[in-house]
Chain A
């Protein structure tokens, strides 16, 4: 009985869809991301987020069919990014652009948006300043300043009076250093030393020695996720800093879920702050993890870019709805300003001023789950964090 009812529903639905889509158009969405090369895993997460959203919410909005076109941009390459965006707009006639992993690529695309009459929804690129470059850009990821700032107070409340920062010497690392320093000093602490490591550092023991010598009680670190993190965390353990009671603080890029199996025991007890944990306990997240895990194939590879893409698709769907399938970038972007909804990461809002996402930042600790796998266990929530990076610039 139930089966026939469902079948009937599907049949009627299909009929309705058929009749509507006869007059509605196909709306094309261009997604630019690193789908091959060293960052292919992040691109896969983009794709999983997009596919999960479409699987759960259908492939059409009010009768407008949605077609997603993926374009590969393996590493940060602004010239190529611009060429790809230009081609998606001019040749493939996309009405919406999404994706973008690296900041320089986003910076190259934003000047095109006005003329292209196309909004861009950024799924990842995390430098605050991007939002100032075009009024037609919205972002559903995070900024380094946003995820880092709560750590200043956390460290101070934890009894750390003097801290040392160790970051990779590139844009996001310096952003993280500044954000932590500002927040920690505002809380009343003192940053005794700031170390900037070259990007390709592999031997971290000399740095750990400097940390030890500095007399700081807390260590704030930021490195790009992936192999360097592994070496850094190992060095932190092996040089006795962990036992020596120098507390470790970092934004969640360091303990992203796809790296945890490799980090293993070494990561246990590390405290990080981030906007999303795969283990987040909510019905929305359960649904998301199931769908995205299926889309990506191996659920262990699921990580934060997927949720950025998932929420990004939510914005794009809302935009398509508001513009009714027509190409009207201003109308589309206006429709999502101030939009609030419950994302897999928790309650979120698009800030009407900056068009960046306002969200909870969670303090987590790496712990071993009942199934023997490591996960980021939530210990504290900082609700409704805006991007402090935009205010400071």
Chain B
């Protein structure tokens, strides 16, 4: 996991606690401001923005295990899909309260994370990566086969979600879905900031740096990583459930290798191990994709490829790293490792 280690930045520990809190408070305020700005600037594209939020949750969940634990995965959509299908199936069977559906998605994602983690953590390095691909392919095929429950390749349609708090309808214009998604994202982000800066989060980073040393210190590696997998699953499942609620349909693409790979691309684009990078990467990637595919629906993929190459060459640490370098280049040197 050399490439992961290279992009790591351990600024948190040496920086004084209070400063870190104020930095994160500013970060959260910026996210809320960007979200609200999006609401007013693009009132006609809220469906796309909601989709971006759902995928952002997936990318955040991937950052937890790739960026913080050093476990590379190309199968993260398994957890996203588990949440989406669980919420979808529950909805078809009469559970229409949006918050309950999100909770169902999160629980299903966490359960899938437990299983996936238990399998993936048996292996290391490339074998682990291959396992993750195998798991997402198996999950994809399982969802395809179980068409009585999932709708198979036709997709699970007919989700009728009740109004939020009994008042706000999930309608064509998508205001409810967007604001609901945005609040969900902010809440999850704040919780995750606490998680990654807790002793547990630090332990994960430590394992990523040097698992043998952590073991020598007397900590158990496997349960710690498994715990992170479960948290990651809950976050991805929340994203899946949000996608299911806002689009009112669940397709096989939500448990696909393509989505998993795209999530990893977005994460690398934004930068690993900061949580901010996951958000920046998702917004830039999906926004760019949307704009160029509308301008030229026939040859837009070339443009996306060019963007990726440009970013990887110009900012190997991802866009958030580039921003950090510009805004606070001097602090980087003092970062050191704990």
A331 contact set on B, CB distance < 8 A: none
Once bound together, how far apart are the Cα atoms of A80 and B50, in whole Å? Answer: 11
Once bound together, how far apart are the Cα atoms of A190 and B127, in whole Å? Answer: 48
B334 CB → nearest A CB, Å: 44
B:152-185 near A, CB below 8 Å = 152-155, 157-158, 171-174
B45 contact set on A, CB distance < 8 A: 87, 90-91
B300 contact set on A, CB distance < 8 A: 36, 72
CB of B324 closer than 8 Å to a CB of A: no
How does the 8 Å CB contact mask read for B129-160 relative to A, with 1 for contact and 0 for none? 00000000000000010010001111101100
The reply to whether B298 and A76 form a contact with Cβ atoms under 8 Å apart is no
B:245-264 near A, CB below 8 Å = 247-254, 258
| Contact-residue bracket for chain B | 35 or more
Main secondary structure of the interface of B (DSSP, over half): helix
B258 CB → nearest A CB, Å: 8
A103 contact set on B, CB distance < 8 A: 153-155
B87 CB → nearest A CB, Å: 13
The reply to whether B51 and A80 form a contact with Cβ atoms under 8 Å apart is yes
The reply to whether A71 and B297 form a contact with Cβ atoms under 8 Å apart is yes
Given A86-B172, A171-B154, CB of A108 within 8 Å of CB of B301 = no
Once bound together, how far apart are the Cα atoms of A129 and B251, in whole Å? Answer: 16
B321 CB → nearest A CB, Å: 29
Once bound together, how far apart are the Cα atoms of A79 and B239, in whole Å? Answer: 13
CB of B10 closer than 8 Å to a CB of A: no
Once bound together, how far apart are the Cα atoms of A91 and B300, in whole Å? Answer: 21
CB of B294 closer than 8 Å to a CB of A: yes
Pick the residue among B154, B243, B294, B299 that contacts A104 (CB under 8 A): B154
Closest chain B residue, CB of each to CB of A79: B247
A76 contact set on B, CB distance < 8 A: 153, 155, 251-253
The reply to whether A89 and B172 form a contact with Cβ atoms under 8 Å apart is yes
The reply to whether A83 and B51 form a contact with Cβ atoms under 8 Å apart is yes
Once bound together, how far apart are the Cα atoms of A87 and B294, in whole Å? Answer: 11
Given A36-B300, A78-B247, CB of A108 within 8 Å of CB of B157 = yes
| Residue of B152, B247, B251 with most partner-chain A CB within 10 A | B251
| Residue of B154, B243, B249 with most partner-chain A CB within 10 A | B154
Pick the residue among A43, A78, A86, A133 that contacts B174 (CB under 8 A): A86
B:105-123 near A, CB below 8 Å = none
Number of interface residues of A (CB under 8 A): 35
A70 contact set on B, CB distance < 8 A: 297
B250 contact set on A, CB distance < 8 A: 78
A51 CB → nearest B CB, Å: 13
The reply to whether A108 and B155 form a contact with Cβ atoms under 8 Å apart is yes
CB of A116 closer than 8 Å to a CB of B: yes
The reply to whether A86 and B47 form a contact with Cβ atoms under 8 Å apart is yes
Once bound together, how far apart are the Cα atoms of A76 and B259, in whole Å? Answer: 12
B173 contact set on A, CB distance < 8 A: 90
The reply to whether B249 and A107 form a contact with Cβ atoms under 8 Å apart is yes
Once bound together, how far apart are the Cα atoms of A43 and B153, in whole Å? Answer: 20
CB of A222 closer than 8 Å to a CB of B: no
The reply to whether A35 and B154 form a contact with Cβ atoms under 8 Å apart is no
B293 contact set on A, CB distance < 8 A: 36, 71-72
| Residue of A37, A104, A107 with most partner-chain B CB within 10 A | A104
Closest chain B residue, CB of each to CB of A89: B172
A28 CB → nearest B CB, Å: 14
Once bound together, how far apart are the Cα atoms of A65 and B47, in whole Å? Answer: 28
The reply to whether B249 and A83 form a contact with Cβ atoms under 8 Å apart is no
B50 contact set on A, CB distance < 8 A: 83
Once bound together, how far apart are the Cα atoms of A40 and B252, in whole Å? Answer: 20
A5 CB → nearest B CB, Å: 40
B243 contact set on A, CB distance < 8 A: 79
Pick the residue among A78, A91, A110, A111 that contacts B251 (CB under 8 A): A78
The reply to whether B301 and A37 form a contact with Cβ atoms under 8 Å apart is yes
The reply to whether A83 and B44 form a contact with Cβ atoms under 8 Å apart is no
A:170-198 near B, CB below 8 Å = 170-171
Once bound together, how far apart are the Cα atoms of A107 and B248, in whole Å? Answer: 10
Given A36-B300, A37-B301, A171-B154, CB of A104 within 8 Å of CB of B251 = yes
The reply to whether B155 and A87 form a contact with Cβ atoms under 8 Å apart is no
Given A37-B301, A72-B293, A89-B172, CB of A170 within 8 Å of CB of B153 = yes
The reply to whether B297 and A72 form a contact with Cβ atoms under 8 Å apart is yes
Once bound together, how far apart are the Cα atoms of A108 and B157, in whole Å? Answer: 7
B254 contact set on A, CB distance < 8 A: 79
A:55-113 near B, CB below 8 Å = 70-72, 75-80, 82-83, 86-87, 89-91, 103-104, 107-108, 110-112
CB of A298 closer than 8 Å to a CB of B: no
| Residue of A37, A103, A107, A115 with most partner-chain B CB within 10 A | A107
CB of B221 closer than 8 Å to a CB of A: no
The reply to whether A72 and B248 form a contact with Cβ atoms under 8 Å apart is no
| Residue of B45, B247, B252, B258 with most partner-chain A CB within 10 A | B247
The reply to whether A171 and B153 form a contact with Cβ atoms under 8 Å apart is yes
A104 contact set on B, CB distance < 8 A: 151, 153-155, 157, 249, 251-252
Seen from chain A, the residues whose Cβ lies within 8 Å of a Cβ on chain B are 35-37, 40, 43, 70-72, 75-80, 82-83, 86-87, 89-91, 103-104, 107-108, 110-112, 115-116, 127, 129, 133, 170-171
Given A36-B301, A79-B251, A91-B44, 14 other A-B contacts at CB below 8 A? A35-B297, A43-B298, A82-B248, A83-B48, A86-B47, A90-B46, A90-B172, A90-B174, A103-B155, A107-B154, A112-B172, A133-B158, A170-B144, A171-B153
Seen from chain B, the residues whose Cβ lies within 8 Å of a Cβ on chain A are 44-48, 50-51, 54, 144, 147, 151-155, 157-158, 171-174, 243, 247-254, 258, 293-294, 297-301
